[in-house]
């Protein structure tokens, strides 16, 4: 089978298109013939070696497809069933042996590309606004990268709760996408100081929570945008890691800082199914609208990474097989 493999950490050129044997599912595993694979920033961090994995490895941690075979002890899934998963490394491949505990069934009315696009980013948006900081009606929320994959989904979810959403974006085109997703106010950070604009839009009160996937270039000002006892939720670092800082600065407004991970918000099978089903049902009903901007053949994974890192994309990037 064809896979994308990383033999040595590096840039997009480290993604090599090679042949390897089709895996056999072990006890508790399911062999999935994959049709659509999600591309995420975590894949870039693995490729770069920022989050090291044993070499060589197949990157990617999200996909949808069809059950080809099941290993010993698997009773929840059967050959021919449509499934999806997130948080299992090895998805940039035609086939993947995935623990059954990581898989979820895909509703009939949700196609494979939508399922692959919704899993990781959809469940991320879900835990951010439902669990990390449970948004309340009437809250004001600041979402960085508002036209990104998580940003668009998070904006829709927060608006459905009944909160006010302020987003930051880099271009007028992205601003329009963010507004279409439901943003009440959009800050074009390339021409405006998002800190000053956020404080102006809140009459100096600040926001209850900042959802920050950017990191180094936004961190300090994100903190100053918060209201007293506000939450800074740092769930990514697309601009680079945040430098060390003295936690005493949190005391200026009794602030909360967290660096969450989807893995810790799907610790049990029940929690995984709850989040995945909420997201997939919302996609099926049309309440949650996905934006799949680019679709690439598996062999063009390196170009997908270049586009993602170039910050020129919106919505979701997929590899298809």
**What tens digit of pLDDT does each residue of 129-183 get?**
999 999 999 999 999 999 999 999 999 999 999 999 999 999 999 999 999 999 9
pLDDT of residue 185: 98
Sign for the CA dihedral angle at 146, 150, 152, 158 comes to: negative
* Helix, strand, coil share (%) of the chain residues, nearest 5: 35, 30, 40
Instruction: Answer whether residue 103 shows pLDDT above 90.
Output: yes
pLDDT at residue 237 in the model: 85
Q: What is the DSSP string of 17-83?
A: EEE-PPPPP-TTEEEEEEEEEEE-HHHHHHHHTSS--PSSB----EEEEEEEEE-TT--S--TT-EE
Topology of domain 2-120+266-320 in CATH is Quinone Oxidoreductase; Chain A, domain 1 (3.90.180)
16-33 confidence digits (pLDDT tens):
999 999 999 999 999 999
Please give the mean pLDDT across all residues of the chain.
96
pLDDT in tens, 219-262: 999 999 999 999 999 998 888 889 999 999 999 999 999 999 99
**Mean local confidence (pLDDT), 175-201:** 97
CB 218 within 8 A of CB 187: no
CATH placement of domain 137-259: 3.40.50.720
Whole-number percent of the chain with pLDDT over 70: 100
- For position 160, what pLDDT does the model report? 97
Residue 202's pLDDT is what? 98
Beta bridge partners of 65: 34, 83
Task: Give the model's pLDDT for residue 140.
Answer: 98
Q: Give tens-digit pLDDT for 284-321.
A: 999 999 999 899 999 999 999 999 988 767 779 999 99
Residue 233 burial (C-beta neighbours within 10 Å; 0-12, 13-18, 19+): buried
How many angstroms separate the CA atoms of 38 and 217, rounded?
26
Q: Which residues pair with 209 in a beta bridge?
A: 141, 231
Please give the pLDDT value at position 156.
98
Residue percentage of the chain with pLDDT more than 90: 93
Residue range 85-108: average pLDDT? 97
Q: Distance (Å, rounded) from C-alpha 222 to C-alpha 5?
A: 37
Are 91 and 63 in contact by the 8 Å Cβ rule? The answer is: yes
Where in the chain are the domains? 2-120+266-320, 137-259
Matching residue, tokens 């990474």: 305
pLDDT, position 315 = 78
Distance from C-alpha of 240 to C-alpha of 315, rounded to nearest angstrom:
20
Task: Name the pLDDT band for 206 (thresholds 50, 70, 90).
Answer: very high
pTM over 0.85: yes
């Amino acid at each position: 089978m064809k896979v994308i493999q990383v033999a040595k950490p590096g840039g997009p050129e480290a993604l090599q298109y090679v042949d390897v044997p089709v895996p056999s599912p072990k006890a508790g595993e399911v062999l999935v013939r994959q049709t659509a694979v999600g591309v995420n920033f975590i894949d870039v961090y693995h490729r770069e070696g920022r989050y090291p994995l044993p070499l060589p490895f197949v990157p990617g941690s999200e996909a949808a497809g069809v059950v080809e075979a099941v290993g010993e002890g698997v009773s929840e899934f059967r050959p021919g069933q449509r499934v999806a998963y997130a948080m299992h490394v090895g998805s940039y491949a035609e086939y993947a042996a995935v623990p059954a505990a990581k898989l979820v069934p895909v509703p009939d009315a949700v196609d494979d590309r939508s399922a692959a696009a919704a899993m990781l980013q959809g469940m991320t948006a879900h835990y951010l606004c439902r669990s990390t900081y449970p948004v309340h009606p009437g809250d004001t929320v600041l979402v960085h990268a508002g036209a990104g994959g998580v940003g668009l989904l998070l904006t829709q979810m927060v608006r459905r709760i009944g909160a006010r959403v302020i987003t930051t974006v880099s271009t007028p085109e992205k601003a329009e996408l963010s507004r279409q997703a439901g943003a009440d106010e959009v800050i074009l950070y390339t021409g405006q100081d998002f800190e000053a604009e956020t404080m102006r839009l809140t009459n100096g009160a600040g926001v209850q929570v900042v959802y920050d996937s950017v990191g180094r270039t936004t961190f300090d000002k994100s903190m100053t945008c918060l209201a007293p006892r506000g939450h800074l939720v740092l769930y990514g670092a697309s601009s680079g890691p945040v430098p060390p800082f003295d936690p005493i600065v949190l005391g200026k407004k009794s602030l909360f800082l967290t660096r969450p991970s989807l893995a810790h918000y799907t610790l049990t099978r029940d929690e995984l199914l709850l989040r995945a089903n909420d997201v997939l049902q919302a996609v099926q009903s049309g309440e949650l609208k996905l934006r799949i901007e680019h679709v690439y053949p598996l062999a063009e994974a390196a170009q997908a990474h270049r586009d993602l890192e170039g910050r020129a994309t919106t919505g979701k990037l997929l590899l298809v097989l």
